Chains A and B, each alone.
Chain A
Amino acid sequence: MTQPIIQFDHISKIYGTGNTEVRALSDVSLTVQSGEYCAIMGPSGSGKSTAMNVIGCLDRPTAGRYCLDGVDVSLLDDRALAHIRNQKIGFVFQQFHLLPQLTALENVMLPMVYAGVPYPERHDRATAALTRVGLDNRLSNKPAQLSGGQQQRVAIARAIVNQPVLLLADEPTGALDSHTTQDVMAIFAELNASGITVVMVTHEAEVARLTRRVVWFRDGEVVHDHLAPEDIGQMAFTA
């Protein structure tokens, strides 16, 4: 009884015009069902981040129809998109993007501030989210006082604190060593097991192998779409 979370229907994204025109996404059709754990791979400049931005409602496609969790988002205004990003989507970035002047707890509370959650509940939920990623002993540390892996776990806690249906991660382990990569991937697996749909961009075959579906991009098109685990190293070679 699956239900599509992401529905790309002939999506194109074109940057610039005339000579400088870049087809970052070229007529992409793609469906991700609720509860999937999906990796996006492909060479640099193939349109992975562009696809993630469109999925995350940070960017609008030039052409095509995009339905998120059954809602056609191409018709929504800035305010409604902000609300969707706040309620349905959690973002994790390669660069963590924590606010340096805020503590770990305050960083995690931030999405709830925009959601209008009152302080006591905000505090409790943020604490719970940080506990879930194993950082309940670092609540009042500023980002500068945390290791890279810890910072990324704070970012994950922030991404899940509003109980999104979809977790988007653009190269979440790109700035981490192999050991902390394992920790972070374990958290993603655990979140996916609890029902959150996870889509992540990665360049690392070992990371993609831990997901359950791999979508390959090349020159703005989906060139392979298959279930993991397979010999991803081999796929990278052929792609």
Chain B
Amino acid sequence: MDLRESLGMAVKTLTANKLRSTLTMLGIIIGNASVIAMVGIGEGAQKFVSEEIEGLGPNVLFVVPGNQETQRATFNLPKTLVLSDAEAIAEQVPSVVGVAPEFNDSGPVVYRNRSTNSTIVGTTPGFPLVRNFTVGRGRFFTDLDMQRSTQVAVLGSELADRLFQGSEPVGQQIRVKNVSFQVIGVLDEKGSGLGGLNYDEAVLVPLLTLSRRLVGQTSPFGVELTYIVASVDRQDNMGAAEFQIANLLRLRHKITGADDFVVRSQKDLLEFTGTITGALTALLAAIAGISLLVGGIGIMNIMLVSVRERTQEIGLRKAIGASGNDILVQFMIEAVILSAAGGIIGTGIGVGGAALLGAVTPFQPGISVSAIVISVVVSGSIGLFFGVVPARQAAQLDPIVALRSA
């Protein structure tokens, strides 16, 4: 009996009981839909983060305090970087064209009777250049503002909208952590940034103003920093700049053992976040894979019931010339058709669902052809795997017992 005959027969049997076939496929459909959607979301998130990092520009180096160990162990990093480190990098590393050190704090920002909690970023006049921001209205603060610790603030676009709701912010007085500041500018919108820090929702003030008037730093070593961002003139110089910055800081920090800082390039960040989002994708896929497994067990369950129900049919088929092998193949094919069809339908739903998610979330889900092919092949194999037990049971049925079970 050839495969085409068996296929036709299986389709006939399955369509004879459409409701049951559909319900049997449901597990696989849901499993597949979730695999496709989850992997799509994961890949979308990965792409989103990558694009964000690439948006920083390829010529940017991050200097963060702590070393690999402390960074892994805690979010509360030791503040080993100070403003004079940043100034030294700007002056002494030849390929560095600008630095933007940052100290990040948070607190209430109040305009008249409107109040909101937001991130307070203390930075230097180099920020817009290094971080690729443009000032939409007003101006950014200057070296003079830094030197005098003037109480001026630049607002992120969203924060400005929330506090001022359409009225002109520039020139207005706001209170940041109960200290009065004059708004001198508003940044253009840029979208959410890395590590959860969204500059659109932040208020930026001169670094020295922040440390003196808002934080009240008393460190004997200088003005503490959360991190330093340095921009390098050319891509070719990235390696050299990274090396020189590291050496400079080792000298300045008198390091003989392990570093108390890490220099990261865009490439490092891409790799780092790549492993995180990759793990996330794998996790999502694993969860979805479990539902696929459950779907497979569902198929096995229904097929076992089906074998019991169809004992007479099996006995009859054997009596008129079907071998055990013919029966085995018949039930295997039914299981594979159910799971493969479920796989295809589920994939369709998954693609649709991912597209829908793409419409309501900031990232575009990545639907790869390979994910679809793998998904359908895997669900087919699941049918094969979970079809074996019922099919063997059917094949081994004693035709006499089967025929008598009227």
Contacts and interface: CB of A to CB of B under 8 A. Distances in A.
Q: Do A and B truly interact?
A: yes
B320 A116 contact: no
A217 B16 CA distance: 43
Interface in A106-126: 110-111, 113-116
Nearest to A119: B5
Contact of A113 (B1, B312, B323, B399): B1
Given A59-B400, A99-B313, A116-B1, A91 B13 contact: no
A102 B8 CA distance: 12
B319 A87 contact: no
A97 B323 contact: no
B233 interface: no
A82 B326 contact: yes
B320 A111 contact: yes
A82 B318 contact: yes
Given A79-B325, A95-B406, A101-B13, A114 B320 contact: yes
Contacts of B316: 97, 99
Interface string B4-16: 0100010011001
Which of B1, B2, B321, B322 has the most C-beta atoms of chain A within 10 angstroms of its own C-beta? B321
B20 to A, nearest CB: 13
A114 B320 CA distance: 8
Given A79-B325, A82-B326, A110 B320 contact: yes
A56 B325 CA distance: 19
A78 B399 CA distance: 12
Interface in B1-35: 1-2, 5, 9, 12-13, 16
A53 interface: yes
B406 to A, nearest CB: 5
B247 to A, nearest CB: 79
Contact of B323 (A78, A87, A158): A78
B contact face: mostly helix, strand, loop, or mixed: helix
B322 A82 contact: yes
Contact of B321 (A59, A97, A102, A111): A111
A58 B400 contact: yes
A85 interface: yes
A42 B211 CA distance: 110
Given A95-B406, A97-B403, A116-B2, A58 B318 contact: yes
A113 B319 contact: no
Contacts of A224: none
B289 interface: no
A82 B399 CA distance: 11
Contacts of B12: 101-102
Contact of A93 (B13, B16, B321, B403): B403
Nearest to B313: A99
Contacts of A78: 323-325
Interface in A124-160: 158
A113 B403 contact: no
Nearest to A54: B400
Interface in B264-318: 312-313, 315-318
Contact of B320 (A53, A59, A91, A102): A91
B399 A114 contact: no
Contacts of A111: 320-321
Contacts of A116: 1-2
A226 interface: no
Contact of B16 (A58, A86, A101, A113): A101
Nearest to A98: B316
Given A58-B400, A101-B13, A101-B16, A91 B323 contact: no
Interface string A80-95: 0011011100010101
Interface string B389-406: 000000000011001001
B313 A82 contact: no
A79 B323 contact: yes
Contacts of B406: 95
B9 A113 contact: yes
Given A79-B325, A86-B320, A111-B321, 11 more contacts: A58-B399, A95-B406, A97-B316, A97-B403, A99-B313, A113-B5, A113-B9, A114-B322, A114-B326, A116-B1, A116-B2
Interface of B: 1-2, 5, 9, 12-13, 16, 312-313, 315-326, 399-400, 403, 406
9 closest A-B pairs by CB: A86-B321, A82-B323, A101-B16, A114-B321, A97-B316, A111-B320, A79-B323, A91-B319, A58-B399
